[in-house]
Amino acid sequence: MKFAIQINEGPYQHQASDSAYYFTKAVLEKGHEVMRVFFYHDGVNNGTRLTTPPQDDRNIVNRWSELGEQHNLDLVVCVAAAQRRGIVDEGEMQRNGKDAHNIAPGFRISGLGQLIEAGIQSERLVVFGD
């Protein structure tokens, strides 16, 4: 079955990012497909590679990048939500005249259309967040 995941909450905020991660892993372990993980609102903060939690804490951002690499996941960050919160890839850096970019490996920045498409093309859209 084709799943899509939406995350509306930042990492280390409450529990949504962890719940979504364990749910996504369980979906994949059961042999289902995850066609997209869409990060919206504060959820875009899951996609900055500058995140540096203490060494004995889980690294939520790296965990998504690694899962994405293992399973070739489409990790999409909402562009408008990302711009507000300073999540930038190389293209956005140039377009907005910024001096740096910080998007984590495996993530890409795109528009809300990707969420709509995920809702249409997947069989189940599961939302995590506040």
Partner 1 sequence: MSILHTVNKSSFEKSSLDSCLRYAKDGSTLLLYEDGVYAALKGAASEEKIKSAMQNHKVCALGPDLKARGFSQDRVIDGVSLIDYAGFVDLAAEAEKVQAWV
User: Which amino acid would we find at residue 84?
Assistant: R
- The whole-angstrom separation of Cα 109 and Cα 120 is 20
**Could you say which of 16, 34, 37, 78 is catalytic?**
78
User: Which amino acid would we find at residue 101?
Assistant: H
Sole residue written with tokens 């890839």: 89
Q: CA nearest 48: which of 92, 95, 113, 14?
A: 92
Minimum CB–partner distance for residue 42 and partner 1 (Å) = 12
Minimum CB–partner distance for residue 3 and partner 1 (Å) = 7
Minimum CB–partner distance for residue 86 and partner 1 (Å) = 24
- The whole-angstrom separation of Cα 130 and Cα 59 is 20
Using CB under 8 A, list all residues that contact partner 1: 1, 3, 8, 14-16, 19, 22-23, 25-27, 29-30, 32, 124-130
Q: Tell me whether residue 78 is one of the annotated catalytic residues.
A: yes
Sole residue written with tokens 């364990």: 22
Hey, which residues are catalytic here? 78
